Amino acid sequence: MGLEHRRRASLALTLNFVALAFAVSAVTTSYWCEGTRKVAKPFCTGPPVQEKQLYCIRFNSSNLNDSRQVQYIFETGEEKFIMRRFHTGIFFSCEQAVDMNGFDCRSFAEIAPEHQRGVLWLCVVAESLYLSLLFTGGFLMILEQCPCFSIMNKLKLSAFAAMCTALSGLCGMVAHMMFTTIFHLAVSMGPEDWRPKTWDYSWSYALAWCSFGTCMGSAVTTLNRYTKTIIEFKYKRHNIEKNLLIKQKMVELGLPEHMWDMYVSSEPAQAEIPSEPLVNGHKPPTGTPCVFQDVEPEHGEAYC
C-alpha cells in the first residue's frame, strides 16, 4: 500500500511539472494564433537590380525624381499584393518585414481595441495566477515527500496541494478563454494595418490547453490519493475500536487469554463472542440430562 501511495505521489508531481513547463512555454512565446495578411506591395528602394523583386513594385522610369514623367507599373490585379505571415501571443504580435526576411514585433496591447483592453489585462492576471498556483501546488507536493513531517501534516499538505492545483487549472481555463475573446475582438475591430485575411490557432495555444489538461490530472490524482488515505485511516480506526470493544467484553466474561489470540488470528468479520461462559476452558454440554439409576453423579447431573 505504501508503494502505491508513493507511485501516486510521483505521478501527481510529474503531471504538475509537465503542466508548469507547458504553461511557461506557452506564455513566453507568441504563437497562440498565426495567419496571413494581404497588403499592397511597397515601392522598391535602392538601385535597380537585374532580378525582379517580388515583394515590391519597381517603376519603369529611369528618373524617379522627375515628377513630370508618367511612371508605369507592370503589376496588375493580385500581383500588386503580397501575403505577409504573422503570429500573435498574449504579449507580442509579430509580422514579416517588408523584404519578407525576419519579423517585426509590437505589443499586442496596441492591437487590441482600446475599450476592450481590460479583458487583455484580466487575461494576463489570470495567467499569472495560473503559474503561481501551479508552482505552489508542486512545491507543496515536494514538501509532502519530506520524511520529517508527520502523517497528519502530510495529509494537510496533500489537501492544500490539491486545492492549489485545482484552482490554478480554473484560472488557466479562464485565461485561455479570455485570450480567445480578445483576439476575436482584435480581428473584427483592430487596426486596419493588422487585420488578418486568414488565421488559425498555433502550437502555443495547443501547449496552453495541454498544460490545463495535465494540471487537472495532477489535481485529480492528488485529491484521489488524499481521499483514499482518509478512507484507509477511518477503516483502520473502525477495526481497532471494534477489536478493543470485543476484547473488553471477553475480559468482562472472564475468558482465557488464548481465546483472544484465536480471535485475532482469525478474520474479525467471522469472529463471534460466545454467549455462555466456559467451564474449565470447555463449552458446557447442551444435551438432555441422563439419569443413572446405579451411579449418582458427583457433580450435578450427567449429560448424554
- 10 Å CB burial of residue 57 (0-12, 13-18, 19+) is middle
- Residue 249 is assigned to a structural domain of this protein: no
The per-residue pLDDT for range 188-217, each reduced to its tens digit, is 888 888 888 889 999 999 999 999 999 999
User: Does residue 262 lie within any of the structural domains?
Assistant: no
The pTM for the full model equals 0.68
Please report, for the domain that includes residue 127, its CATH number.
1.20.140.150
Within a domain: residue 115?
A: yes
The DSSP string of 70-95 is -------GGGGEEEEEEEE-SSEEEE
Residue 260 within any structural domain of the chain: no
Instruction: Please indicate, yes or no, if residue 6 is contained in any of the structural domains.
Output: yes
- Measure the CA dihedral 282/288/291/296, to 10°: 20
Of the given ranges (80-84, 165-169, 278-282), which has the lowest mean pLDDT?
Answer: 278-282
Greatest extent of the chain over all pairs of C-alpha atoms, in Å: 157
Is 295 a domain residue? no
The verdict on residue 32 lying in a domain is yes
> Does the residue 290 lie in any domain?
no
Q: How many domains does the chain have?
A: 1
For 8-31, how does the pLDDT look when each residue is reduced to its tens digit (9 = 90+)? 888 999 999 999 999 999 999 989
What is the domain range of residue 217? 1-43+79-232
